[in-house]
Copies of this chain bind each other. A is one copy, B any other.
Amino acid sequence: MANPSLLILPGDGIGPEVMAEVKKIIDWYGDKRELRFDVSEDLVGGAAYDAHGTPLADATMAKAQEVDAVLLGAVGGPKYDKLDFSVKPERGLLRLRKEMDLFSNLRPAQCFDALADFSSLKKEVVAGLDIMIVRELTSGVYFGEPRGIFTEGNERVGINTQRYTESEIARVARSAFELARRRGNKVCSMEKANVMESGILWREVVQKVHDEEYPDVELSHMYADAGAMQLCRWPKQFDVIVTDNLFGDLLSDAAAMLTGSLGMLPSASLGAPMANGRPKALYEPVHGSAPDIAGQGKANPIACILSFAMALRYSFDQGAEADRLEKAVEKVLADGVRTADLMGPEGGKPVSTAEMGNAVVAAL
């Protein structure tokens, strides 16, 4: 049988640096566990724009559709701020999500024991925290039409459209319920049904999918503003949160920051199963391209490494190997190995991106 295929898109800023460490991990799995991947690499975001004048070349898009999984670093940077909207680095990422139809974005917000002191929250509020935010990723206000800047009378108006069909809501709800069954068996759905009709439909469909297909899972509903509050107050009340594209963007970022482990958090974006049974999939760290520290060997590669662990689990059915990698990361942290972003006020000498990658390989 052919090796599973992996397309690596390092992207911009610290993307290439953190991805270099993931490649060491991939090599380790090939050498030591005979888990070999057919790896190819290409450009996305600003890097693709610089080379091709587009943040995602058609050939890259085609390749992404064919491989078993895509691993992405990060996109964007101040260099591209003045570009036209249509060719901004972000459009490359959004095109991947949309054309691969990656409707379910899994964003774990986990607090690593060794890092509980890092959170701006009190230790007892975050220690042991482990929630999963399932964000709808291919619809809503990110993609709804009409959109644009138009002229009306003597002024301009900026328009975007929030738009959700029943089937779009149902499929991401299913993915949240499935996940919940393998975790704490609890789902909280968030919208603004008190002000938005799209939120009313969202709530109704999530409830229907629950009642008909997942009555065993505990379901609750919360307005997204109350959800933001509750995440800040007592995040441990949640197990799985399911929400739309835009709310998910804000809520998952807030949750990630609350853990104190932002540089540590991976994500998986999953679509429908392909012919080989694997879901279409893209894995990427939650953190961005961090242009301020790019090229200095300061970046923390763990979020990207853990994104590869998610790939092992969700794309390659290698749950045990994913566990192994996650344990290796925990061990390295417990040993006190720290990149600059993880240095506490007590100080000490941070390790470089490469040293952190090497430490994880050694722990494997």
Contact = CB atoms under 8 A, between A and B. Distances in A.
A163 interface: yes
Interface in A158-198: 158-167, 192, 194-198
B125 A152 contact: no
A262 interface: yes
| Copies of this chain, whole number | 2
A228 interface: yes
B166 A159 contact: no
Given A122-B122, A141-B196, A250-B247, A156 B201 contact: yes
A262 to B, nearest CB: 7
Interface string A142-165: 101001110010011111111111
A228 B253 contact: yes
Contacts of A76: 194
Interface string A231-262: 11110000000000011011101101110001
Contacts of A195: 90, 94, 141-142
Interface in A200-232: 200-202, 224-226, 228-232
14 contacts: A88-B194, A120-B122, A120-B234, A121-B232, A141-B196, A148-B197, A157-B163, A158-B197, A161-B161, A224-B249, A228-B228, A228-B251, A228-B253, A229-B256
